[in-house]
Amino acid sequence: MHPRPPVRRPLLLLLLLTSLSASAANWGERGISRRFALRGNLLYDVDGRGVSVYDVSDTSSIRRVDSEPWNDETYDLALHGDQAIVATRRGLVRYAIGADGMLAFSGVNESLPPISHLAANADAIAASTGDRLLFINDETLDADREIAFNNPIRALAFSDDALYVAVERSGIFVLDPQSGEQLGFVPVEATALAVNGATLWAAGGTLKGLTAIDVSDPANPAVIGNSGNNEHTYGDLAATDNRVYAIEGADEVRVFDTSDATDPQLVSSIDDWVAVVAASGNRVFLSGSIVDQHGMKSETGVPLRVYDATTLATLGEFDDLAGAVSGAWTDGSVAFIVDPPYFRVLDVSNSDAPRELANLIVPGLQDSIRVRDGMAIVYGRAKVNFIDVHDIYRPTFDGTWDAQGHPPGGAGFTGQDTVVEANDHSGMHVVDYSDPTNPRIIGSINMHYFEIATGDSAIYTIDASALLARELVNRTHIVERSAFKTLYQHLDSAPPNSPAPERLVATAGNLISVFSLAADRFAPVEVARIPFGGVDALGTTATTAWVARDGVLHRIDLLSPGAPEATDYHVTAPMQISAAGEKIVVADRYSVRVYGPQTDAPPPPPPPSAPPMRHRAIRH
């Protein structure tokens, strides 16, 4: 493993950040596979957090032999001679591949537009962004040339010295990567390409099925076969001498016998969660996310699994933490973490070394979390999990309330034993959890909602066109009080979960609004409108709003709102931010990040013989 390269920011910004530096830790790091590339018995996996390298020479005992975290989310990679080129959210990163196959950082260009596809051979690198094809200089990682197409580019592949570019509603263009000139064209629309020898395999698009294209003469490519099962639409492909593996949906790999390329035959299937596939010889390598009926993902904890292509037997797998880490809530000393299927309790008092105190498997665990008076609610996919956290060393799962709706959704506390849940399908619901093993609905209202924040009888929510303030009357009746006709994405009260919050913070596409609730909590007054777009996540305390943008946490002083102030707190893919004082805990998809000063340690656990005690209430 090599040291993480530094985050690159202008010198002036780094000087401004010095006063905000503090202890930091990264707990529970894991990857979520996005793309595989094979080189002998080493498999390179771009996994969101960076790049991992696996030794698959013995598939019964797979080893991760290198891991190169990056300071931005990684999406794609291609091997280019003795280099690995990695696409991130903000550009390209280059690693040198040593004689032993390990990686060493050797360059970065973060000035490119977001890269959607990447391909390389020994002599050239190609990348696409929307409808533009970029030829990348392997020294500077800048674009030497650019070609614009009429429609988006869906896939790239090299075969020998020719580049194949699949363009939506057009076909496959054959280009000379040195000059950029068009050599040929295949009138087959495709969304995935794979090459084996002189055969280019295409899938997706209007023809569907699996199509074989002879590319022995790049100037005259010719369709020579099709699987004939055109009712099927395939995603990513991998090809070997006699097999093509085609992903169908989220849980199927179709295996084709392609020994006769003019007549590819579907011979078997692998039933597994799959989004990424690669193949070598008689081995198939795959990884994927669990996808529910609403298209929402959760992870398997297996970033790599290997199958025998003939018997379809599992040869081995590499097990890791699952996730994604989606939810976080802290009081400054303890953090409650949503890491499906686990609900975890961390001691974060030492910001340099968080440690796990307890964990609990929760069936159907949702994504985001709020905690108040010893009760944690986990929500986000139109359900609410109730978890008793009075005893931080022995959290207990009490039950789940199902809104019979669709994600996204939100939830918040509204007084004694009451929460309000709202989602994009079944509306807004008042739920009594006085018996958390049997929560029950006691009030509701229709419409579609995406986020929620609350006081004891005040409900603030976002729908498709506005921020709405509503009053909960007699604990059961929801009454609309005011509305702001702006399309907001994120919303929270300050302090969060307070029975009587003093402020609201909401983010829209290009602004952040701060509202005062001092005069009338049912008629928020906008006191600051701050130009600031691209916010990925929002968290609040009584006096501060924390917002994540472009991999950096920024702070806003809510007592005197002004332009957000950048910190040197780095995030990769933030999903929820929680803060107490200056302690910040971020659910950052691939890990838990902890920033801020050292704080009081939580109380020690009770003696093993003592009965469970309700000795710790968490409130903001």
- Token pair of 149 as six digits: 């197409």
| Predicted pLDDT at 616 | 47
Structure token digits, residue 498: 């307070």
* Reported confidence tier of residue 599, pLDDT bands at 50, 70, 90: very high
Q: 191 forms bridges with which residues in the sheet?
A: none
Model confidence at 313, in pLDDT bands (50, 70, 90)? very high
518-555 confidence digits (pLDDT tens): 999 999 999 999 999 999 999 999 999 999 999 999 99
Give percent of the chain with pLDDT exceeding 90.
86
3-state SS of 452-499? EEECCCEEEEECCCCEEEEEEECCCEEEEEEEECCCEEEEEEECCCCC
Closest-CA residue to 367 (of 355, 381, 356, 357): 381
Q: By the 8 A CB rule, do 396 and 418 touch?
A: no
Measure the CA–CA gap between 276 and 286, rounded to whole angstroms.
Answer: 5
Arithmetic mean of pLDDT, 126-135? 97
- CA within 13 Å, CB half, 122: 3
pLDDT at position 208, please? Answer: 78
Residue 1 has pLDDT above 60, yes or no: no
Q: Domain locations in the chain?
A: 361-579
Q: What is the pLDDT of residue 34?
A: 95
- The answer to whether the CB of 558 falls within 8 A of the CB of 505 is yes
Number of CB atoms found within 10 A of residue 515's CB: 24
Q: What is the 3-state secondary structure (H, E, C) of 536-597?
A: CEEEECCCEEEEEECCEEEEEECCCCCCCEEEEEECCCCCEEEEECCEEEEECECCEEEECC
Secondary structure of residue 17 in the 3-state scheme: helix
Distance between CA 452 and CA 410 in Å, rounded?
5
Is residue 309 within 8 Å of 564, Cβ to Cβ?
Answer: no
Residue 16: predicted pLDDT: 36
Average pLDDT for 86-96: 95
Q: What is the rounded CA–CA span in Å between residue 245 and residue 36?
A: 14
* Of 235, 175, 228, nearest in space to 205 by CA: 235
Give, for 94, the enclosing helix (H) or strand (E). strand 91-97
Sequence-separated (6 or more) residues with CB below 8 Å from residue 526: 484, 513, 514, 515
User: pLDDT tens-digit profile of 368-412?
Assistant: 999 999 999 999 999 999 999 999 999 999 999 999 999 999 999
pLDDT category of residue 125 using cuts at 50, 70 and 90: very high
pLDDT of res. 612: 54
Query: Quick one: CA torsion of 489, 578, 320, 120, rounded to 10 degrees?
Result: 50
**What number of CA atoms fall less than 13 Å from residue 126's CA on the CB side?**
27
Summarize pLDDT for 465-519 with one digit per residue, the tens.
899 999 999 999 999 999 999 999 999 999 998 999 999 999 999 999 999 999 9
> Which parts of 126-175 fold into alpha helices (H)?
none
CA 452 to CA 434: how far, in whole Å? Answer: 21
* Cα(82)–Cα(104) distance, integer angstroms: 11
Instruction: Output the pLDDT for position 619.
Output: 41
Residue 461 has pLDDT above 90, yes or no: yes
- At residue 245, the 3 state secondary structure works out as strand
CB 57 within 8 A of CB 285: no
| Confidence at residue 18, expressed as pLDDT on a 0 to 100 scale | 36
**Residue 285: CA atoms inside 13 Å, Cβ hemisphere, count?**
26
Assess whether pLDDT exceeds 70 at residue 2.
no
Q: What is the pTM of this model?
A: 0.89
Take residue 261 and report the two structure tokens written for it: 């390329």
**Cα gap 553→539, rounded to integer Å:** 10
What does the DSSP assignment read for 69-81?
Answer: E-SS-EEEEEEET
Structure tokens at 33: 């596979």
Give the pLDDT mean for 260-267.
95
In this predicted structure, what is the pLDDT of residue 610?
Answer: 56
Question: Tokens 């698959």 identify what position?
Answer: 56
Q: What average pLDDT does the chain have?
A: 92
CATH topology of domain 361-579: Methylamine Dehydrogenase; Chain H (2.130.10)
The C-alpha atoms of residue 226 and residue 610 are separated, in whole angstroms, by: 70
Q: Percentage of the chain surpassing pLDDT 70?
A: 94
State the Cα–Cα distance between residues 168 and 202, nearest whole angstrom. 13
Note the maximum CA span of the chain: 80
Q: List the structure tokens of 110.
A: 């973060």
pLDDT value at residue 293: 86
Fill in the DSSP letter of residue 227.
-
